[in-house]
Amino acid sequence: YAFNMKSSVEDDNMKGKISQEDKKKVVDRCDQTISWLENNQLG
């Protein structure tokens, strides 16, 4: 889910639909989640 969300937000079709600030928040949170999952394989 985190990978898909990050990909969707970074897609060129999303330009203008969400603010850069919101995009950064979503990407940062997705990166945190992906990092946590990589470090906690049982998660």
Q: Where are the domains of the chain?
A: 2-39
What confidence category does residue 13 fall into, taking pLDDT thresholds of 50, 70 and 90?
confident
Average pLDDT score over residue span 9-38: 93
CA angle 26, 31, 34 (to 5 degrees): 125
What confidence category does residue 43 fall into, taking pLDDT thresholds of 50, 70 and 90?
low
pTM, to two decimals: 0.80
Q: What is the mean pLDDT of the chain?
A: 92
Decide: 2 and 33 in contact? Cβ < 8 Å.
yes
What confidence category does residue 42 fall into, taking pLDDT thresholds of 50, 70 and 90?
confident
Average pLDDT score over residue span 28-43: 91
